Amino acid sequence: MKLQQHSDQDLVRLYLSGEESVIAELLRRHKSKIYTSIYLLVKDHYLAEDIFQDAFIKVINTLRSGRYNEEGKFLPWVMRIAHNLVIDSFRREKRAPVITSADGTDVLNLIQILEESAEERMLREQTHADLRTMIQLLPDEQKEVLIMRHYADLSFKEIADLTDVSINTALGRMRYALSNLRKMMKVKEVTYKGG
C-alpha cells in the first residue's frame, strides 16, 4: 500500500515502529496548511519557515520520546504546537500583548499584532537584502540544505536522499542554518541601530 493511502495515525504508527521515511509523507501532506496558518499570524516568510521547522522538530522529538497520544488527531496536534510557537515568538519579540482570562490562560484569539514602524520596516528590508551574503557565510552542509529547500524548493525527503543523510539530519541542518542566520541578522541589526 502506498504511503498516500495511509491515514495520519497509520503513518505515526509506522514512524514509531522505525519507518523514519514516513515523516516525509506527513510533512508533504500537511506543510501547506500548517505553514499558511503560521504565515497568516507572523506575516514574515523567514519567521514562518523558522517556526514551521521548529514545530516539526518538536513533533519528531515528541514522537521519538513516546509522548504522542493524540489518537487520530495528528494535524490538530501539530497546529497547536505551531500556534504555541507563534505565541512564544510574539512574546520574545514583544510584538503582542498577553491577554489572560480570569483563570490565567491566554486569550489567544484576541492577540493583535502591532504594526511595524517605518524604521523597523527599513531594517527588515535591509536585513533581507543582506541575507544572500549571510547565506554564503554558513557552513557548507547548512548552506546546501537551505539553498535546496528555499531556492530549489526540494522536500526534506529529496534533500535527505540527495545528500545521503536522514531526514532528521537534514531538518537539523536547516534548523542550525536558520539559527545561524538569525544570529548574524541580530549582529547586523545592532550594527544598523548603533552606527
Domains of the chain: 1-98 (1.10.1740.10), 117-194 (1.10.10.10)
Identify the residue with better confidence: 109 or 123: 123
So what's the pLDDT on residue 130? 67
Contact 81, 58 (CB under 8 A): yes
Indicate left, alpha or beta for 104 from its phi (over 0: left) and psi (-120 to 50: alpha): left
- Tell me: the pLDDT tens digits for 25-36? 888 888 888 888
Tell me which residue has cell 497520544.
69
Contact 16, 62 (CB under 8 A): no
Rounded to two decimals, the pTM is 0.48
